[in-house]
Structure 1
């Protein structure tokens, strides 16, 4: 499916409908209009970065190259994003940053927005935090197993409030299909429930997901990492189905996929398989592939037709053919891995971004051109944690 950005100049017209009589003479509100935001013709990618020790927070605009300073939030232990907001876990709760960049996908077209970068409040709950959102609700799943639901409109107004507790939820929750996908339920904590947005159970697939950990939201549906593989939850006209994607072999607990990495919406997922290998999960083809990479600290992929990117413990960045597993290029990038948060690889359609805490830099990598360094961003603080927004 080809996605077409709709510009404010033309909107996304759906036909020549007559104006209501009472609206004659008034200026029409463009389709996709968001108060306080500017619509753009391309994705507005930004990097939210935090210093683990000092809690200094910076937001790097990848379109303009400008960096915004948001001050310190206290020592940061973990950062995650739902595509627009970054959630920074500290010792006293979770600080929320509105990156001011996001994408609205209508299926046959998308809208790209940019707005003011700002602090958006805080949520009570320990890290690590996992965040998933839809247009109505944001689900924050905390390190103690608790889950709270936040009204999306209130969050966008920087008034998140305390949120609403979701009972009997012990694993990351995914808002999907105007419902909530809630894993880890039942006596054995291996059932998956579909609940309405009020938390009321609607259905439960026959397929189970023992020991749910990793989560991802793709164009094919919501993906849950399980002890025996993955579970794909799909929705069609309000009906939910589940398909198990088994590993196909016995996998030791330390080598299971528990943290999926991918480009937003992509149906190709990457995850570390212990210390020395990587899993590729093809959600469309319903199959896993294990790639022997050697010691690895970070992985990611932009999806079908693009390489698997793996950052080794020795600081070298490698590209692998996801079909064959063969390494196609390898280049030195960072110092060898040391103590502290591991670097990450963030990806969009044509570039990857790798943070270098020791060198106080971020590298933009053209993964279609033999891992060429397209840009280097020098910083005045240590980018221990990093997430990309604007998706």
Structure 2
């Protein structure tokens, strides 16, 4: 069942006037303005030690191919592995110690690995170059490059509006760069330092501005929007526990412990949860819909809540709809399909396909066996990643990877993996 909750109290929230008891979470506009850092060019990309070579990937020199070669990059305990997204064959492995996190760099070729004290650039080894009405396709050996973006406690890397923003949780520093030239060397990075370090996120905007979270090491409170020069335009601090971000058609959202904030048309709107504590800390959006998919948790004191409802938030109307799935899921279960459909990988082992406008569950696709979310968020669990018309589902317990055709609703390929996968992302090639 699903429930639609109107939000009569939603209001556009500009920056309120200063009061003596109001805590500031950003410095004055002058101190927010970035120093433009021009960094030196990196070395040519190369594979790191331990790369598994195949006939296709044996040469470091790029080879032209007849078609695009989409690829998947996965972490495992002790390294990274890259698979051909068409047949799921693992074509490269690379040792890398530590708990590593993955984010697309934004250029369709590279992946950013959050590890240690930096975001390190990983070359997935496939890309396409457009020439007029056609494109040329290239392949090379996947592997870590020497290129790094220094960051104390590297957190989220977010690509939006053609730019990529790196958030350093340890300092509150945000670095923004154009990823288009990553293959040619390290790009210039525009740095902005927020007033307080916190676990946060930054989203580049179409006009050259930046949406940033507000918070301290103890708490997170909301968001602010800066123009291209770093001047603050609007803020909202009515968002306890601010977490996550997603872009919808014409909007950016971030989650709160009691609702969600929508930034649209220069204004910030708060949509309240129907419960006093209704956390929507993880979201999935798409340019094909104004509706954002979010998780929904209501037990503040749970060691690990296993929710069975999801939230659909229409960013154009500020209306919230809750949908009961009849099964739980994890924060790595959310995705969007090629037509804007909402996708949730349930602990029942099925991929639930939801109409974002009505909340109707239109299809349930069995993929894996029933599973239980581990208590520690860093531990592997089945994870959903969507690329083009295919949903990829990892099964770490069985060391398998499944490809699901979202048009037919069937599993097209299942592959055995050499390691239990944890995080997964991909490139279109």
Normalization by structure 2: what TM-score?
Answer: 0.65
Query: Where does structure 1 lack aligned partners over 5 or more consecutive residues?
Result: 1-35, 235-239
Provide the C-alpha distance between the structure 2 equivalents of 1:313 and 1:161, rounded to a whole number of angstroms: 43
Provide the C-alpha distance between the structure 2 equivalents of 1:195 and 1:355, rounded to a whole number of angstroms: 40
Provide the C-alpha distance between the structure 2 equivalents of 1:98 and 1:205, rounded to a whole number of angstroms: 37
**Shift, 1:290, TM fit:** 1.4
Instruction: Pick closer, same or farther for the CA change 1:203–1:319 going to 2, 3 Å.
Output: closer
Query: Where does structure 2 lack aligned partners over 5 or more consecutive residues?
Result: 1-61, 298-305
**Contact 1:181–1:193 under 8 Å retained in 2:** yes
**Contact 2:247–2:285 under 8 Å retained in 1:** no
Provide the C-alpha distance between the structure 1 equivalents of 2:423 and 2:96, rounded to a whole number of angstroms: 13
Which residue does the alignment assign to 1:346?
385
Which residue does the alignment assign to 1:388?
426
1:131 aligns with 2:164: no
Provide the C-alpha distance between the structure 1 equivalents of 2:128 and 2:233, rounded to a whole number of angstroms: 30
**Shift, 1:79, TM fit:** 2.4
**Shift, 1:173, TM fit:** 0.7
Provide the C-alpha distance between the structure 2 equivalents of 1:150 and 1:302, rounded to a whole number of angstroms: 26
Which residue does the alignment assign to 2:47?
none
Which residue does the alignment assign to 2:263?
233
**Contact 2:249–2:286 under 8 Å retained in 1:** no
1:166 aligns with 2:196: no
Provide the C-alpha distance between the structure 2 equivalents of 1:367 and 1:188, rounded to a whole number of angstroms: 37
2:78 pairs with one of 54, 57, 68: 54
**Contact 1:147–1:165 under 8 Å retained in 2:** yes
**Shift, 1:96, TM fit:** 2.5
1:180 pairs with one of 210, 219, 225: 210
1:95 aligns with 2:95: no
Instruction: Pick closer, same or farther for the CA change 1:77–1:314 going to 2, 3 Å.
Output: farther
Number of aligned residue pairs:
340
Provide the C-alpha distance between the structure 2 equivalents of 1:329 and 1:50, rounded to a whole number of angstroms: 28
RMSD across aligned positions (CA):
4.0
What are the equivalent positions in structure 2 for 1:1-391 lying under 5 Å apart?
Answer: 45-51=70-76, 53-55=77-79, 57-63=80-86, 67-83=90-106, 84=108, 85-91=110-116, 93-100=118-125, 116=140, 117-120=142-145, 121-125=147-151, 129-133=155-159, 137-144=163-170, 146-152=172-178, 155-159=182-186, 164-168=191-195, 170=198, 171-177=200-206, 178-184=208-214, 189-196=221-228, 200-204=230-234, 209-234=239-264, 241-247=266-272, 249-252=274-277, 255-263=278-286, 267-274=290-297, 275-276=306-307, 277-293=309-325, 294-297=327-330, 298-302=332-336, 307-322=341-356, 323-326=358-361, 328-329=363-364, 331=366, 333-334=368-369, 336-337=371-372, 339=374, 340-369=379-408, 371-390=409-428
